[in-house]
């Protein structure tokens, strides 16, 4: 198992008392898979990703990458956030190579990796540009290139296109699919956009309302080669409605509890 999350439980201390964010999370991802996790607001999606990234520690349970327990951040996991988190005083090439510099890579190694991944994301001609000179979609490509440059085993993505306009978002979805086909990097992405999850992923994990747990796992019965026209197929619409119905049921359950 490439990524294994077992009996994961996360509780936070609040002024009102303990708050259980995640409960009994069990999921697994094989090498090279593209997986999405969806859930209502407050279902613990971002918390789950932060735990896998090693940015927070679980209250109970275990996370393993290739059999090695996750105890903190590591180069085997790259992270892409919704906000681009680029350093504004660094140009594109410097941003992409920053993680490599922290890892102690030589100047030659950094230059080769940066050149390669800027080519992969189609931004070679913008190597010397500052982030403020780029569009939102281009800035997110830089963030993806930076994450990939460190050669992670798993790319973790926290609603990476949530801040983009609809047209740019659709373009970036197609870009990400093509990037995944080219690199075969394992991807775990969380999103609140059901259509996005169905379009991108091979499997979807649907989370319950708080406390978040895995309600169900759905395999996308769609062709591996997908484009804009895929969204109009009846199979795509059926998958989308299935996920939406599950989330509507969760919203209704939460409202009934309140």
Own/partner contacts of 173-177, CB < 8 Å, gap of 24 or more, are 173/199, 173/200, 174/227, 174/228, 175/121, 175/122, 175/141, 176/144, 176/200, 177/34, 177/226
Could you give the CA distance from residue 180 to residue 188 in angstroms, rounded to a whole number? 11
pLDDT beyond 90 at 221? no
CATH architecture of 3-76+153-251: 3-Layer(aba) Sandwich (3.40)
Report the distance separating Cα 126 and Cα 147, nearest Å. 17
Domain definitions of the chain by residue range: 3-76+153-251, 86-151
Q: What pLDDT is stored for residue 253 in this prediction?
A: 56
Mean pLDDT, residues 187-194: 94
pLDDT digits (tens, 9 = 90+) for 9-31: 999 988 888 899 999 999 999 99
Indicate the average pLDDT of the chain. 90
């Amino acid at each position: 198992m490439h990524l294994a999350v077992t009996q994961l439980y996360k509780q936070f201390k609040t002024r009102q008392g303990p708050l259980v964010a995640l409960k009994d999370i069990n999921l697994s991802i094989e090498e090279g898979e593209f997986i999405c996790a969806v859930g209502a607001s407050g279902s613990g999606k971002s918390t789950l990703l932060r735990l896998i990234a090693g940015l927070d520690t679980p209250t109970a349970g275990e996370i393993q990458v290739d059999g090695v327990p996750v105890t903190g951040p590591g180069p085997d996991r790259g992270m892409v956030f919704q906000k681009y988190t680029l350093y504004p005083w660094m140009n594109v090439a410097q941003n992409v190579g920053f993680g490599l510099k922290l890892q102690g890579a030589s100047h030659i190694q950094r230059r080769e990796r940066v050149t390669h991944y800027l080519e992969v994301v189609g931004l070679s001609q913008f190597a010397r540009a500052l982030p403020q000179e780029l569009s939102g979609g281009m800035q997110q490509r830089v963030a993806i290139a930076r994450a990939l440059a460190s050669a992670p085993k798993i790319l973790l993505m926290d609603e990476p296109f949530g801040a983009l306009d609809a047209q740019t978002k659709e373009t970036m979805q197609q870009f990400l699919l093509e990037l995944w086909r080219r690199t075969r990097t394992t991807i775990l992405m969380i999103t609140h956009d059901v259509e996005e999850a169905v379009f991108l992923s091979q499997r979807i994990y649907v989370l319950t309302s708080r406390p978040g747990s895995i309600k169900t796992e759905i395999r996308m019965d769609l062709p591996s080669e997908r484009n804009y026209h895929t969204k109009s197929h009846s199979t795509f619409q059926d998958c989308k409605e299935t996920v939406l119905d599950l989330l509507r049921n969760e919203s209704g359950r939460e409202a009934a509890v309140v």
